[in-house]
Structure 1
């Protein structure tokens, strides 16, 4: 699947938004990828996650983990297509943790799956949890890489849609300077990654 084919799915489902947004990373942008809107359609979910699963099929993955909330749907479907255990990490009092009775064994080969990577902060936090459990981070995958590959998180990293999308530190945001209202559609309103 090409970048243009993936982008067409986002556009046709209304998942590529224009405006003034506060990203999960805390940065501001005039574009927002609302993956939930494209992933709500089973044919898109299956196709997108199938591409990710195919990329890692021969990598010995035993577990897929995703950061909540955005990565859960894509991570679950990638795990289903790979036929492996699928879990997620979530924040408790601001700290990413593996909870809800989930656990990772040191022998596991773990694929970290996220919906959108801008700075990679949430993925790094999940990777730290995997490593703390003694397991191996075998790869990182995302539906969208807003850095166009500039954010390197793992030796084996794959993103279906790679684009450089402009983002700004809040104090440098021209949209803020214009006084445009801001929307924070992500899963964290005051976030770091």
Structure 2
């Protein structure tokens, strides 16, 4: 069993991933979805937490070896960024969704130096909106952003286009296609339900209609 497959198994067994048989969840972006991944829960499970950290570290080494600072995207990306930074013995910062309204009014908490290469970590990517805003904040402060890592990506075309427009790349540990295939194997589901989940993925903005 690969590390990725083991992580998916844990997400399913711990019900961190939920598929709705009827109805839908609603994302912050407004998308209606038959699936919800509450990845904030992963920090409560030591084995899952450690396996995800290991997988993210492997992605750093494979795709972004020039990284010198790990940045967590508030709030869900912060604990995972801390775990990865600790494993790699690197500095860590985090990026707020907006500047705080008191004190230094900082949006970035922690120390980044002029020549640093910053790698952002978030829990999941749907359209990429929140993490790309964080990346823009780092760039606006005058620093280099290498790219983005996430535990999970829905693999929407919107995200691909948004990252291309921003001139950034991203790498997830798990994609929606990976998750659906393993979920089908693990819990079983009828063919028409699999087809419905696949059709949602092809056009999530209009699926509920």
Structure-1-length-normalised TM-score:
0.76
- Higher relative contact order, structure no. (Cα contacts within 8 Å, ≥ 6 residues apart): 1
Give the number of equivalent residue pairs: 171
For residue 11 of structure 2, what is the aligned residue in structure 1?
Answer: 10
**Which has the larger Rg?**
2
- Residues 143-182 of structure 1 correspond to what in structure 2 (within 5 A)? 143-147=151-155, 151-152=159-160, 153=163, 156-164=169-177, 166=200, 168-169=204-205, 172=206, 174=208
Q: For the Cα contact (< 8 Å) 1:65–1:87, is it kept in 2? A: yes
Q: For the Cα contact (< 8 Å) 2:70–2:90, is it kept in 1? A: yes
The one of 119, 137, 142 aligned to 1:134: 142
Deviations 1:84-134 (A, max 9, x none): 12121123489xx95375343331100110101000001110110111122
Give the alignment's Cα RMSD to 1 decimal.
2.7
Once the 2 structures are TM-superposed, how far is the Cα of residue 27 of structure 1 from its aligned partner?
Answer: 1.6
Q: For the Cα contact (< 8 Å) 2:77–2:121, is it kept in 1? A: yes
CA distance 1:72–1:112, shift in 2 (3 Å): same
* Structure 1 runs of 4+ with >2 Å offset: 1-6, 91-94, 97-106, 148-157, 164-169
Q: For the Cα contact (< 8 Å) 1:149–1:162, is it kept in 2? A: no
Structure-2-length-normalised TM-score:
0.70
For residue 190 of structure 2, what is the aligned residue in structure 1?
Answer: none
Q: Which runs of 5+ in 2 are unaligned?
A: 178-196
For residue 52 of structure 1, what is the aligned residue in structure 2?
Answer: 56
Greater per-residue strand proportion: 1
